[in-house]
Structure 1
Amino acid sequence: MSRKVKTILWIVIIVIIFIAVYFFSQKRPRNEQVNVKMDQSKPVQVGVATQQDVPIQVSALGTVISDRVVTVTSRVTGNLEKIYFNEGQYVKQGELLAQIDVRPYQATLEQYQGTLAESQAQMKNAELTLERYKRLYAKDSIAKQDLDTQLALTNQYVGAVKAAQGQIKTAQLNITYAKVTAPISGYIGLRKTDIGNAVSADSTGIVTITQMHPIAVTFGVPQNQLANIVEPIRAGKALPVQAFDLSGTNQVAQGEVKIISNEIDATTGTVMLKAIFNNQDNKLFPNQFVNIKLNTSTLPQAIVVPTAAVQASDSGKFVFTIDQQSTAHKVVVKTGPETADGKVVVTGIRVGDRVVTSGSDALGNGSKVKIVTPEVVDTSILDAAKKPEHSRRPH
């Protein structure tokens, strides 16, 4: 074989090897892509539809109010001599709060007591004289006019005694009123005056006491809920209500609706309710805003799914269910009220159905899925699953 022929053979062999390598390198990614595509399942998290009795709730913004707020004033006029309370202190009804200077009233009492003694002596003397005049008149020793005059004088002294007795009672009351006591049990506010100032019934007061146990919350509910509220109250049933903080997540108190307003607000279309709370832990304060949840009725044996499972589109709400073959199915649903455990589904879901709670953005009807737990979820996988197919094709 000539040298020229050998050279041509080597060139042909090299070309064949190059072509084979080229076609192999082009074919392998496609095969791998097909295999990846065939094995690709969307990672999702799932929850299970449950059946439970669901309380129907009405939510509203309420204002905490005290049923009793009393401004403590003096019933007598005088200088404020002593204060026995601290601002912010809890006091019981009848507890001594302040002392008004009692000396003027004590002096008045002693004066009236002297007047009473004098009037009683005069009355006693007049009564003795009247008895003597009666005996003399019976013997025709005095004129009828003298007897009548003595009778009138005796009655005058009797009246003077009664007047003095009334004045003494008034003076004694004033001495009692000089001791200012708490008219209700509650918490003391800020002091309105200081020791040494003159106080009276017409003054601004000494301090304010606010009742905290129990305490009330007023709130408005839509008028279309009125029937659900009035009926159980008229039947003597308790209508429980919960108070939450402004975040709506932390319950601070539980009470009962006690009062329904006698009219509907024409401007807002709401009716005002008043709920009473025991508030022994003092978590509610007057003028505080709270979120109110009122249980009006109960939806028995309702189907509940996790809230995250319910999706919305232009055509309505839907969920993705997962069958035994790990295939996703888009199911249009009709939903009901939301609960602490999830959302009520009226139609489309059965008890025990597995519903997608995370990863549904990448799903379509009939998509294959891989169920994962929150502990093993790789967010990069979920993000990659959301990307369109063309963005993952090799260039």
Structure 2
Amino acid sequence: MSRFWKIALVVVVVLVLAVVGLRLMHKPGGQPGQANAQDQGKEGQQPPVPVTVVPVARQDVPVYLTALGTVQALNTVAISPQVSGRLISLQFNEGQPVKKGQVLAQIDPRSFQATYDQAVARLHQDQAQLATAKANYSRSQELGPKGYIAKQDLDALHNTVRQLEATLASDQAQIRDAEVQLGYTKVVSPIDGLAGIRGVDPGNVVTTTSTIVTLTQLHPINVMFNLPEQNLDMVRQAAMGEGELSVAALDRGDAHVIADGGVLKVIDNQIDASTGTFRLKSEFPNQNNELWPGQFVNVRLKVRTVGGGLVIPAQAVQRGPDGDYVYLLQQDNTVKMQPVQVAQEVGDSAVMIASGLTQGQKVVTEGQFRLKPGSKVNPLKPGEVPPAPTKEELEKAKKSGGGRRGH
């Protein structure tokens, strides 16, 4: 292609682009300024936006502190025998409840029974010797004044009686010891609890270092948790003012309450310098075994109640670049953006407002995405739906839509 034709092609393309641009700038039916005025007129004729509004209410709002907690058994006991011997039987089921005083295991008692019988026999022998010594001493006391027995011999007989009395006391102590050792052959539960997995089998020779089973007490049960040190004064003052503070345990997603009815039992006497937190212990009845040792839960500690707090639904609060705000309904059924400060959440669906609203004002809870400051709205109650459009309104909307398509 020659240079002339290349220049001609470029000129043609430039002319075509210029014509297209002019047609776009000068639309038929008026000047650009006129078109903007028409569009603004149409916008002003838009029907009110249906929205749901809710009044700002006053109610008592509980104040909670939350933390991650760990469930801990009230008592955990590792059951070990107190005497050594062959294990004859286990009398509990793994994972099942046991009662205080229930026999858990039986150790072969024969050698301990023999030791006990020997101690009893020795007692009887020494009792007979003591009886003889007392009789000899009694007769000698009658003969002493008559000069038939020396005072030295009389003293020796008296000392023999006292020696045998001491031997008798020792025998009785040995019997009690043998009886205790014999009793240890029956391993009993010291608490009401839940049996874990057994550590020995029948037939094994167990010693005092063997663990037969571990028992955990689940009723009641403890939940341990930590709070930042800046909350210490608040918790202490609340505990002194209200007595036992209520505690609830929630699942890890804070979706629902696992266990209620807990109370704060202990505030630790020191702050952990490495974490800047202090430890607390709460106690739950746990009648239905909702909590399990080692489980992680979210703890909600109630420290006080704010009387007459301003409460609105949580969905009314919007987040903007300058902070939280709500759409506030005006007297002329328009809305404005009202900055607010949220104090805290109230349950799962409401918030308490610290500033920005007063009781009785109405805020938009549904339909905010179609609003801007000054928008005309049709305020509806929760659950209320706007009325169906009339035939005239439908015809007007149809004609308005047809006119726009004609352009």
Q: What TM-score comes out, normalization by structure 2 length?
A: 0.80
- Structure 1 residues 312 and 33: CA distance shift in structure 2, 3 A: closer
1:61: how far off?
0.6
1:215 aligns with 2:221: yes
For residues 32 and 222 of structure 1, the distance between their equivalents in structure 2, rounded to whole angstroms, comes to 58
Out of 235, 241, 244, the residue aligned to residue 238 of structure 1 is 244
Out of 277, 283, 290, the residue aligned to residue 276 of structure 1 is 283
1:92 aligns with 2:92: no
SS in 2 for 1:263: strand
For residues 236 and 344 of structure 1, the distance between their equivalents in structure 2, rounded to whole angstroms, comes to 23
Q: Find the counterpart in structure 2 of residue 130 from structure 1.
A: 137
For residues 29 and 245 of structure 2, the distance between their equivalents in structure 1, rounded to whole angstroms, comes to 79
For residues 278 and 73 of structure 2, the distance between their equivalents in structure 1, rounded to whole angstroms, comes to 20
Which blocks of at least 5 consecutive residues in structure 2 are unaligned?
1-27, 387-403
Q: How does 1:376-391 map to 2 (within 5 A)?
A: none
140-149 or 289-298, larger mean C-alpha shift: 140-149
Out of 350, 353, 363, the residue aligned to residue 358 of structure 2 is 350
- Kept in 2, the 8 Å contact 1:98–1:181? The answer is yes
237-246 or 344-353, larger mean C-alpha shift: 344-353
1:235: how far off?
4.0
For residues 23 and 130 of structure 1, the distance between their equivalents in structure 2, rounded to whole angstroms, comes to 147
SS in 2 for 1:349: coil
1:67: how far off?
2.1
Q: Which amino acid aligns with 2:361?
A: D
Q: Over aligned residue pairs, what C-alpha RMSD do you find?
A: 2.8
How many pairs does the alignment contain? 357
Out of 101, 111, 119, the residue aligned to residue 104 of structure 1 is 111
Q: Which amino acid aligns with 2:358?
A: R
For residues 121 and 235 of structure 1, the distance between their equivalents in structure 2, rounded to whole angstroms, comes to 71
- Structure 1 residues 345 and 235: CA distance shift in structure 2, 3 A: closer
- Kept in 1, the 8 Å contact 2:112–2:181? The answer is yes
1:298 aligns with 2:305: yes
For residues 267 and 117 of structure 1, the distance between their equivalents in structure 2, rounded to whole angstroms, comes to 67
Q: How does 1:181-200 map to 2 (within 5 A)?
A: 181-200=188-207
- Structure 1 residues 23 and 263: CA distance shift in structure 2, 3 A: closer
SS in 2 for 1:213: strand
For residues 162 and 198 of structure 1, the distance between their equivalents in structure 2, rounded to whole angstroms, comes to 34
SS in 1 for 2:140: helix
- Kept in 1, the 8 Å contact 2:333–2:378? The answer is yes
1:65: how far off?
0.7
- Kept in 1, the 8 Å contact 2:248–2:259? The answer is yes
Q: Find the counterpart in structure 2 of residue 366 from structure 1.
A: 374
Residue-by-residue CA offset, 1:346-368 (whole Å, 9 max, x unaligned): 22222232222233244221012
SS in 2 for 1:66: strand
Residue-by-residue CA offset, 1:320-341 (whole Å, 9 max, x unaligned): 1123533111111122111114
SS in 1 for 2:89: strand
Q: How does 1:1-395 map to 2 (within 5 A)?
A: 34-35=41-42, 38-201=45-208, 203-235=209-241, 237-254=243-260, 255-340=262-347, 341-371=349-379
- Kept in 2, the 8 Å contact 1:228–1:297? The answer is no
For residues 52 and 275 of structure 2, the distance between their equivalents in structure 1, rounded to whole angstroms, comes to 43
1:151: how far off?
2.3
Q: Which amino acid aligns with 1:82?
A: S
For residues 207 and 232 of structure 2, the distance between their equivalents in structure 1, rounded to whole angstroms, comes to 47
Q: Which amino acid aligns with 1:211?
A: Q
Q: Which amino acid aligns with 1:357?
A: T
SS in 2 for 1:293: strand
- Kept in 1, the 8 Å contact 2:81–2:210? The answer is no
Q: Which amino acid aligns with 2:182?
A: I
Identity %: 38
- Kept in 2, the 8 Å contact 1:94–1:184? The answer is yes
Q: Which amino acid aligns with 1:84?
A: Q
For residues 114 and 241 of structure 2, the distance between their equivalents in structure 1, rounded to whole angstroms, comes to 61
Q: Which amino acid aligns with 1:175?
A: L
SS in 1 for 2:332: coil
1:35: how far off?
4.1
1:99: how far off?
1.2
For residues 354 and 242 of structure 2, the distance between their equivalents in structure 1, rounded to whole angstroms, comes to 31
For residues 52 and 368 of structure 1, the distance between their equivalents in structure 2, rounded to whole angstroms, comes to 30
For residues 172 and 92 of structure 2, the distance between their equivalents in structure 1, rounded to whole angstroms, comes to 35
Q: What TM-score comes out, normalization by structure 1 length?
A: 0.83
